[in-house]
Structure 1
Amino acid sequence: MEPLLAFQDVLLGSVENRFSRESVAKIRWNDKMIGIRGPRGAGKTTLILQRLKFGLGDQREKGLYVTADHTWFYTHSLLDTAMDWWKQGGRVLFIDEVHKYPHWSRELKNIYDGLPGMKVIFSASSALDIYRGEADLSRRVVSYSLPGLSFREYLQFTERGTFPAMSLDDIRAHHREVSRSVLEKVQPLPDFRHYLRQGYLPIFTEGEESYLPRLEQVINTTLEADLATLASYNAGTAARVKKLLGVIAESAPFKPNISALADKMGLHRDKIYEFIYQLEDARLLNLLSAEGKGVSRLQKPEKIYLENTNLAYAMQASPDMGNLRETFLMGQLVNAGLSVTAPTQGDFKVGDLFIEVGGKSKNAGQVKGEASYLVAADDIEMGVGSKVPLWMFGFLY
């Protein structure tokens, strides 16, 4: 196992604990098998390496990190690797990008059942359905999702300021007090503009000028590798899905005309639905359903959004600011675990709360007849009454 340990040592040498995602606090690390899913570049590898280096305490020497596409697995199985590590005194196995390993679910089940004292923490693509592999893992795996950075996390990551996460109720009741506390440390609007363009994924630390090209690579790898593997795409199918994403990006957010998309793509309507929902699974799209309608993979979403605003900049020369505002708010609400629907009045509805999005002059004309509403207004540092700064919704997680 020397090649794996040597590879691990090299990786751990560059891992710091200066910033860690608060999602870590929600993970029950004592569970026997943990799955962490998220979009490429969100920081899954860093998260599990931080856990290995800083979180195991005196058990660190009993932890082993492997990545499922390592050349080691050309001649060794995942199960045999776990067995060998167990015999050497290992008790924790970290597996990165498990979806790249054939028969991953079967061997994870074998490890779980055959090595009762071994803990397994694995990362996977967002598109991976952990509970629908070859083997039943539903009773074995506790799954967590790691989204991209919130605007609040971005401010902390860039050392602009550290602020607590807020609930939607907190924003409604205390947004003026929160604005004051933020303004004591930073003027949020310039940072917010930067975040919308290139602050969603932590890979921006590798160079701002290379961020959007790297994001294009993330998109291509997600489509050509992750989805191609998980949805059994061939090269032609991956190219069609990529074209569909490009068509959507041209006007997202928009109300989809599935028949028109099918005609433009030369595909059956059912294939369009299938690809759209797979792109949602891969965290490249967010889909908004109409209020009162169930969720079905053969049901037309009310609106289609790119998953985050950075994607718009990677795929378009000059994204529309109105679209970016909606895309940002939709993404932050979804990533905060809130159930969002498309209401008859306003842009979004969460529970009994209606939310209208716009610029600094936006008023409550479309939602003022509702008992509970907010106006998420861009280009303001501080709101008043039911008018809240748009950037503050980036403090939801």
Structure 2
Amino acid sequence: MDDDIFSQQHTLLTNLSEAKRYLYENIQWGHRLVGIVGARGVGKTTMLLQRIKDQYGDSGKAAYVSIDHPYFDARPLYEFAESFAAYGGELLCVDEVHKQADWSRQIKAIHDTIPSLRVIFSGSSILRMSAQAADLSRRALVYELHGLSFREYLLFAHKQKFEQLTLAQILEDHVALAGSVVPRIKILPCFRAYLDHGYYPFFLEGVDQYQLKLTAVMGQILEMDLPFAASIAIRQIGKLKKLLYLISTSVPMIPDIAKLSRMTGISRPTIYDYLEKLQEARLLRLVRQAGKGTVSLTKPEKIYLDNTNLAVALAQQPDSGTVRETFFANQIASALSRSRLVDEELTVPARGDFLVQGKWTFEVGGKGKMDDRIINLPEGYLAVDDIEVGHRRRIPLWLFGFLY
């Protein structure tokens, strides 16, 4: 056993944040094998450490290890797990597991041959995790951790705790719900800040450096994850960056695949594949036409950046309409989707901007938005920016950030 690993764990537990993400209470921690996947920077490491602290404290019966640690340069994970269990270890939390090439085989072996040890594993490369996680599908419970919701941002940034809402609650009682929030905090300035820099928890390390850190995260996904996991040639990475920039500056992006092909130098069939890969990497969100299903290699109706912070980082001053729709799509899909690969709950209807769960139609816009596109739709609503409290079917856009 390496004493340095446990010394590092003690330091991490001592300086651990107490604020917990939405997913923490939803995980079946007692299961013998649990996986947590998610984009880089969304808080998976903190969640692993919080679980150790809550259940075991500094007892030594739980271990946090990151495959980044030099210990694992020359030793397989299985060897450490076997030794840890022999010394009475009960819980092994493995971070950045995807960085060991045969990680799924080793996790499977630990599960099958060391029954006294529970394992929680996490990884930042969703692409690389997805490729091997299927091997563990019958053994592991795998969850995806999304970035901060607006509700969570208010907790992390302003120490204001608000209850999680369901979509049904918002649609039925949004006036009273919004009215209970606005006396406690200046909601619209907070919302603007969230759209700019509130999706990834590392904003707490300093807003001044946030855009640089987010740009670095995007670079790691494009230059490391995609070439390794998706077999995308390094020479194509520059073209992918151009594709992301074009999407970030759109109003919003209703894709013209032929035009994107000409502007990026990527062939049309390849663009379809790249769009899917960028969605799996949580850089893009593809929204398809209602009734068309989610078949890959078909043209999506709309393309967005995954979240508004990415749009700001890439475009600097993105179109306000695009930002609003990006926020709505991100919060709705993160709250309602049960799939790690495709958001099937959100589509584009014949009228309106979004159709949610095949039932509710939403038009997204600023406070001057008229209701002419939903007036004859019994389940039609406006998600309106720049208002604190709504009226009838005009719902404040920010309130959809309370869904998770």
Please give the TM-score of this superposition, normalised by the length of structure 1: 0.95
Residue 349 of structure 2 corresponds to residue 343 of structure 1: yes
Partner of 1:370: 377
Q: Percent identity?
A: 42
In the alignment, the residues of structure 1 paired with residue 355 and residue 130 of structure 2 have an alpha-carbon distance, to the nearest angstrom, of 30
Partner of 1:64 in structure 2? 63
Instruction: Provide, for residues 301-355 of structure 1, a one-character-per-residue CA deviation record: whole Å limited to 9, x for no partner.
Output: 1100011111111111211111111110010001102511100100001131110
Of 128-137 and 68-77, more deviation after overlay is shown by 128-137
C-alpha distance in structure 2 between counterparts of 1:135 and 1:343, whole Å: 33
Map of 2:340 onto structure 1: none
Q: Which residue of 2 aligns with 1:382?
A: 389
- Whether the 8 Å contact between 2:34 and 2:120 is mirrored in structure 1 is yes
SS at match of 2:329: helix
Match of 2:190 in 1: 191
- 1:191-239 per-residue CA deviation (whole Å, 9 max, x = no partner) reads 0011110111111111111111111111111211222322234432333
| Whole-angstrom CA distance in 2 between matches of 1:230 and 1:14 | 34
Matches within 5 A, 1:1-397: 1-17=2-18, 19-53=19-53, 55-57=54-56, 60-125=59-124, 127-128=126-127, 130=129, 132-133=131-132, 136-251=135-250, 253-338=252-337, 339-350=345-356, 351-397=358-404
Given that 1:106 and 1:134 are in contact with CA atoms closer than 8 Å, whether structure 2 keeps it comes out as no
Map Cα deviations across residues 354-384 of structure 1 (whole Å, 9 max, x no partner): 1001111112111112111110111111110
Q: Distance in 2 between matches of 1:241 and 1:73?
A: 32
Q: Distance in 2 between matches of 1:198 and 1:142?
A: 31
Cα pair distance change 1:160/1:62, threshold 3 Å: closer
Report the Cα offset of residue 123 of structure 1. Answer: 1.0
Distance 1:179 1:134, change over 3 A: closer
Letter in 2 for 1:70: H
Write out per-residue CA displacement over residues 280-299 of structure 1, whole angstroms, 9 at most, x where no aligned residue: 11111111010001212211
Task: Compare 255-264 and 183-192 and name the one that shifted more.
Answer: 255-264
Task: Out of 202-211 and 178-187, give the one that drifted further.
Answer: 178-187
Residues 132 and 8 (structure 1 numbering): CA distance in 2 closer, same or farther, change over 3 Å? same
How many pairs does the alignment contain? 395
Aligned residue type for 1:294: G
254-263 or 105-114: bigger deviation? 254-263
2:385–2:398: 8 Å Cα contact kept in structure 1? yes
Task: Say whether the 8 Å CA contact 1:252–1:304 is kept in structure 2.
Answer: no
- Contact map agreement 1:99 1:128 (CA 8 A) in 2: no
3-state DSSP class of the match of 1:66?
A: strand
1:218-277 Cα deviation digits (max 9, x unpaired): 111121122232223443233332232222222163111122222222222221111111
SS of corresponding position for 1:40: coil
Q: Return the alpha-carbon distance in structure 1 between the equivalents of residues 157 and 243 of structure 2.
A: 34
Aligned-partner Cα distance in 1 for 2:231–2:258: 25
Aligned-partner SS, 2:336: coil
Q: Return the alpha-carbon distance in structure 2 between the equivalents of residues 103 and 58 of structure 1.
A: 30
- Report if the CA contact (8 A) 1:160-1:186 is conserved: no
Q: What is the Cα deviation at residue 13 of structure 1? A: 2.5
Q: For the structure 1 residues 154 and 383, does the alpha-carbon distance in structure 2 shift closer, same or farther, using more than 3 Å as the test? A: same
Structure 1 SS opposite 2:60: helix
Give the distance between the partners of 2:393 and 2:134, measured in 1 at CA: 50
SS for the counterpart of 2:135 is: coil
What value does the CA root-mean-square deviation take over the aligned residues? 1.7
Q: Which runs of 5+ in 1 are unaligned?
A: none
